[in-house]
Amino acid sequence: MKSQHVADILLLRGPVSLSHLFAGTFLHEGDKAIDATCGNGYDTLALAKLTGSSGHVYGFDIQEQAIRETSRRLAEAGLAGRVTLLQIGHEKMEQLVRSPVKAVLFNLGYLPGSDHMIMTRPDTTRIAMNHSLKLLEPGGIVLITVYPGHDGGTDEQHAVDDWAAGLDPRKYHSWRMGQMNVISDAPYCVLVQKAA
């Protein structure tokens, strides 16, 4: 989903816009960031803009279509040089990205308009979330958009919620944020910040 702006005001419609709000607050020129699920590449592009010409973004997706679409979107914006795209599962991120990283974004579920059987799964998501924490610098954030409403979404929702709620509060600050005037299984945002 693309975040929506009117006259430079970010509209807070749905959880993806919230994750962009937080990414915009925490990421600065020169930072390193990870898009753990490139999908259509909107988040990857947003991260590449925020981290600037001296920063770098690593984008993961297992689908060729997602990597191709993200690559096209970055090239169109002239920002391909700021991003390393990897057609590899995000559960390998710790081996492929060097610490420290300021922000890691996940947009879970399946890619709209593509094969709905190819989706993020609780086991690999859990591994990748743990890798993210290891890679984060103090004060850095993990932002996860969770989709409870599809097949398999409830299992993944529980995996993310249990993981975030179980983190040691002296080491991490975990938040769950969801829009209230929407259906009960609407997507929501989980944020985990590494304590300083």
CA distance linking residue 111 with residue 105, whole number of Å: 15
Q: Which of 60, 103, 153, 189 binds ligand SAH (CB under 6 A)?
A: 60
**Which span (4-12, 22-30, 49-57, 62-70) binds ligand SAH, by CB under 6 A?**
62-70
* 62: its two tokens: 């297992």
Q: What is the spatial distance between Cα 33 and Cα 44, in angstroms, rounded to a whole number?
A: 9
Q: Considering the complex, state which of residue 22 and residue 58 has its C-beta at the smaller distance from ligand SAH.
A: 58
Cα–Cα distance measured from residue 144 to residue 135, given in angstroms and rounded to the nearest whole number = 16
Distance CA 70, CA 63 (A): 11
Q: Segment 174-193, which members bind ligand SAH (CB under 6 A)?
A: none
Task: Write the binding mask 102 to 121 for ligand SAH: x where contact by CB under 6 A, - elsewhere.
Answer: -----x-xxxx-----xxx-
Length of the chain: 196
By CB under 6 A, what part of segment 19-58 binds ligand SAH? 37, 39
Contact between 66 and ligand SAH by CB under 6 A: the answer reads yes
Q: How far apart are CA 19 and CA 157, in angstroms?
A: 17
Residues that bind ligand SAH (CB under 6 A): 1, 37, 39, 60-63, 66, 89-91, 107, 109-112, 118-120, 124, 147
